[in-house]
Structures are given as structure tokens and as C-alpha cells.
Amino acid sequence: MLTHHKDPFDRMIISQAMTRDITIISADKAFDEYNIKRIFKEK
């Protein structure tokens, strides 16, 4: 796994999203560096 994200808990979430094809709900744009789906609605 790439290390664009330094937070170990977020890296665990990224791993689970990649292996289980889960969409992440987060404002953190660092998730976009990985091959996962992220949704967040800005105001």
C-alpha cells in the first residue's frame, strides 16, 4: 500500500475499503490518492 496517508487508523480504513470495495465517507482528500471511492458533500 502506498503511504500518502500517515494516520495508521485511516490506513486501516483504506485497506478495508480496497479489499471489500467499500465507499468511504470523509472530508479528508488524502483518501483520493488511493484506488477507493470517497464521498463527501461540501457546504
Burial 1-32 (b: 16+ CB within 10 A, else e): eeeebeeeebbebbeebeeeeeebeeeeeebe
Is 1 part of a structural domain of the chain?
Answer: no
What pLDDT is recorded for position 30? 87
Domain assignment present for 31 = yes
2 occurs within a structural domain: no
Structural domain boundaries, residue 15: 8-39
| 19 occurs within a structural domain | yes
pLDDT at 4: 66
- Answer whether residue 3 is part of any domain: no
Tell me the per-residue pLDDT of 1-43, one tens digit each, with 9 for 90 and over: 566 667 889 889 999 999 999 999 999 888 998 999 999 977 6
The whole-number pLDDT of residue 17 equals 96
Asked whether 4 and 33 are in contact (CB, 8 A), the reply is yes
pLDDT at 41: 79
In a domain, 33, yes or no: yes
- pTM (predicted TM-score): 0.75
Q: Examine residue 24 and state whether it is found in any structural domain, yes or no.
A: yes
The total number of structural domains in the chain stands at 1
Give residue for cell 479528508: 28
pLDDT at 14: 92
